[in-house]
Structure 1
Amino acid sequence: MTTSEAPGAAQPWILQFCHGYDGPFLDCARQYAALFADTRYKVCTVYLTGKPSAEVEQGSASDEVIFLDYSSREVRGLKLKAIRDIKRIVAAHDFKLCIAHRFKPIYIALLGSSLPVIGVHHAFGDYQRLSRRLFANAFKKRLALLGVSDAVRDDMRTCLPSWPAERIQTLYNRIDIAAVQAGQVSRSAAREHLGLPPDAWVVGNVGRLHPDKDQATLIRGFAQALPQLPKGSLLVIMGSGRLEAALKTLANELAVADSVRFLGQVADGRRYFKAFDTFALTSDHEPFGMVLLEAMAAGVPVVCSDCGGGREVAGKSGLMFTLGSAEELTSCLLRLSVELPQAQPDFISGLNERVIALFSDDASRDVFWNLPMVVCLRLS
């Protein structure tokens, strides 16, 4: 993709416009900047919200980073000042394309520039509102959409039925595998940090304690499996949220409170995934399932509900159960507790192969540059 520029030609740039850098979105910015590594393009990443940060600037992996530093309140309504800011930024370089994450940056980029815009969507339902559908249709000629999973893509296609399929595509989230694995500590160090016994069989879960994550099914499935699991088995839930008290009450009612550990928020939690013998995700509508990907990178077998993007991440390398079925989850946990001791090397090999093949920067770069919406822009 490397191309030399004609003498005197302006350096071509890509504008990446992000709503913010909280949670997983800093790495999302890095992921999309990495698509242009070793090409003729420079990348300018702009954050609509969030204070200036040297750490974020470094983590963005971009040639230029701009913090507009708006509050959430300031970007409600028409967002006229932000539109003027984007016009000013676009005038500073020879931009060829804008990649905008989430609806507000898409809206601002389309109104504040004449650039072709690829809008990246990380959640379901972004075009269920009539106003958003009308807006997207008004800019249909220079807007294309990416979902972080086929599930998100299909949701958008349903909401925008008149759009040709090639204008709404999938580009999976991904990780810098080497960096993630380098940051993960050993099993023994992870268990020591989390206060877990070294010899327990541990089922891990990471996420908000929220109805969307359905940890109630997780606790029920674990409780049913516990009598047949290895002695001293534990369910470890990393995260906080409004359902914490209710979930603890459920564990008490099912007489498994001593075997369920609520760890709360753990800083840099993915560093400690090797503490788990298996990882379970019970979400009822997961757009992608980044925690599954991080667990797989740690060599931890995964089990997840058969909805949303989670099943796309795990594929045949994981076990699936019907959403909300504690009984099927029980069967998955029992199967893993029996099969893993004999088959762990094969499990780990399969996990690594899948992550590299589908969810690495290199794999996603190949997909991106061959997307119809990108090919037609003639960027290469």
Structure 2
Amino acid sequence: MNTNNMSQAWVLQICHGYDGPFLDCARQYAVLFADSPYKVMTVYLSGKYDAQVEAGSASDEVVFLEYSSKALRGLKLGAIRAIRRIASERNFTLCIAHRFKPTYIACLATRVPVIGVNHAFGVYHRRFRQWFANAFSKRLMLLGVSNAVRDDLRASLPAWPEARIETLYNRIDIETLKAQQVTREDAREYLGLPQDVWVVGNVGRLHPDKDQETLIRGFAKALPDLPTGSLLVIVGRGRLEARLRALTEELGVGHAVRLLGQIPNAKYYFKAFDVFALTSDHEPFGMVLLEAMVAGVPLICSDCGGGREVVDSVGILFPQGQIDALSQKVAAVCTSADGELKNYRSSMIARLNDQFSDQAVESRFWSLPFLSRLS
């Protein structure tokens, strides 16, 4: 055993995989330790080795265990043994685990304090998971990515002190994304959109939770009040694609709705949109809202879940599922004066810096009482 590894203090971060937003989630937590005495090892339970993922993890060491989904079902004994072996080779003082399975593995494979980061609603609704959390409550802290998720966790675990279940918002590397986002003209060319039309944008899985059906119906109702040639552009794929395409034809707006499918690095092209609309009914946070804010795109968001917390005071909210209200908001943004939109953009940048930047969240993270034992 290398004695240098045992003298250096390490933080172990365990992620189920790096698909979707979870690579950036790993980065978000790794950079919190950039100016600390701790090194960070990030372990991905699933997913093949990828040099870009390794670089994007912002960690001192990255391990790809490359388990299949089948291997991560049930008791997950193989993953527990692998993490136990890794833990024996470093002086780990803390483990950060994203989602329940990594939290379960971290608690069983290590003896260090564990922070379980929760990115969804309903994680601890099941009786077994409640029992498990209670069994490890002395060295387990839970974080929700929004107050809405935090409150759901607290309701699931009513015996826990509130200080053991806190909020730590997702965040974004503002300057890096600014540099990556292309101009409006280039974004529209890449996405195959006309340069001279008004565009409502949406990015997300085609899933009932994202409720793009309400978005399409609201856009269809607003269309007569929008400029000629206006488009609704939806980026993403999922099991509802055929149903949503059929809906556009049923409503007679197939010519005005474009379902573009999956676009790699879609966040680079948000300036193609004149307004960004998120109509989810189950939105734990809404990273796409931050990406749209960096692009300076006005926001319309359903008044529920974590999205409401992101958009609060810098965007337009509508009652979730209310088609008439959504159509009115879409038309209102279209007719907003340039000065009003400029004020929106200024407010969004200020909110990003105050609440959702790496720097803003770093101070909040280190103030968590759970981390006092690391100081």
SS of 1:118 mapped into structure 2 = strand
Question: 158, 168, 178: which is aligned to 1:161?
Answer: 158
Q: Which digits, 9 at most, give the CA deviation of each residue in 1:64-123, with x for residues without a partner?
A: 111111111112111222212112111111111101111111111111111010000111
CA distance in 1, matches of 2:245, 2:70: 35
- Partner amino acid, structure 2, of 1:246: R
Three-state SS of the structure 1 residue aligned to 2:14 is strand
Give the AA of the match of 2:184: R
Calculate the TM-score normalised by the size of structure 2. Answer: 0.96
Contact (CA 8 Å) 2:71, 2:78: kept in 1 or not?
no
Partner residue of 1:275? 272
Aligned length: 372
Q: Secondary structure at the residue paired with 1:339?
A: coil
1:369 alignment partner, one of 366, 370, 374: 366
**Aligned: 1:187 with 2:190:** no
Q: Which residue of 2 aligns with 1:198?
A: 195
- Which of 141, 145, 149 is the matching residue for 1:144? 141
Q: Show the counterpart of 2:230.
A: 233
Report the CA distance between 1:341 and its aligned residue: 2.8
User: SS where residue 36 of structure 2 aligns?
Assistant: coil
* 1:12 matched residue in structure 2: 9
Q: Distance in 2 between matches of 1:241 and 1:80?
A: 32
Counterpart secondary structure, 2:352: helix
| Correspondences of 1:343-354 after superposition (within 5 Å) | 343-354=340-351
**Is 2:317 the counterpart of 1:320?**
yes
Say if 2:169 and 2:361, in contact at 8 Å, map to a contact too.
Answer: yes
Q: What residue is the counterpart of 1:124 in the other structure?
A: 121
The structural deviation recorded for 1:253 is: 2.1
Higher deviation after alignment, 163-172 or 52-61: 52-61
Q: In the TM superposition, what is the alpha-carbon distance from 1:339 to its structure 2 partner?
A: 1.2
Matched, 1:170 2:172: no
The Cα shift of 1:325 comes to: 0.3
RMSD: 1.5
Quote how far apart the aligned CAs of 1:276 are.
0.2
Q: Is the 8 A contact 2:6 2:89 kept in 1?
A: no
Counterparts of 1:28-177 in structure 2, within 5 Å, are 28-177=25-174
CA distance in 1, matches of 2:39, 2:362: 15
Corresponding residue SS for 2:82: helix
2-structure distance, mates of 1:86, 1:252 = 51
What is the CA-CA distance between 1:195 and the residue it aligns to? 1.3
More deviation, 77-86/7-16: 7-16
Match among 299, 302, 305 for residue 305 of structure 1:
302
Q: Distance in 2 between matches of 1:334 and 1:17?
A: 45
Q: Which residue of 2 aligns with 1:290?
A: 287
CA distance in 1, matches of 2:197, 2:268: 19
Q: Which amino acid aligns with 1:309?
A: G
CA distance in structure 2 between the aligned counterparts of 1:254 and 1:265, rounded to whole angstroms:
24
Instruction: Give 1:8 shift.
Output: 12
TM-score scaled by structure 1? 0.95
Change (3 A) 1:202 1:8: closer
2:336 counterpart residue number = 339
* 5+ residue gaps, structure 2: none
Q: Distance in 1 between matches of 2:270 and 2:178?
A: 10
CA distance in 1: counterparts of 2:337 and 2:45, whole angstroms: 46
Task: Give the deviation of 1:340 after TM superposition.
Answer: 4.6
| Cα deviations by residue, 1:175-199 (Å, 9 ceiling, x for unpaired) | 1111111111000001111111111
SS in 2 for 1:316: coil
- 1:215-252 Cα offsets, whole Å, 9 max, x none, are 11111111111111122211111112222222122222
Given that residues 145 and 168 in structure 2 are in contact (C-alpha distance below 8 angstroms), is that contact kept between their aligned partners in structure 1?
Answer: yes
Distance 1:119 1:19 in 2: 12
- Single out whichever of 233-242 and 112-121 deviates more from structure 2: 233-242
Amino acid at match of 2:117: V
Cα distance between partner residues in 1 of 2:89 and 2:239: 45
Aligned partner of residue 329 in structure 1, secondary structure: helix
- What amino acid is the match of 1:131? F
Partner Cα separation in structure 2 for residue 294 and residue 188 of structure 1: 18
* 2:256 counterpart of 1:259: yes
Identity score, percent: 63
1:218 partner SS: helix
Contiguous gaps of at least 5 residues in structure 1 = 1-6
Partner AA of 2:51 in structure 1: A
| Equivalent residue, structure 2, for 1:25 | 22
Partner of 1:4: none
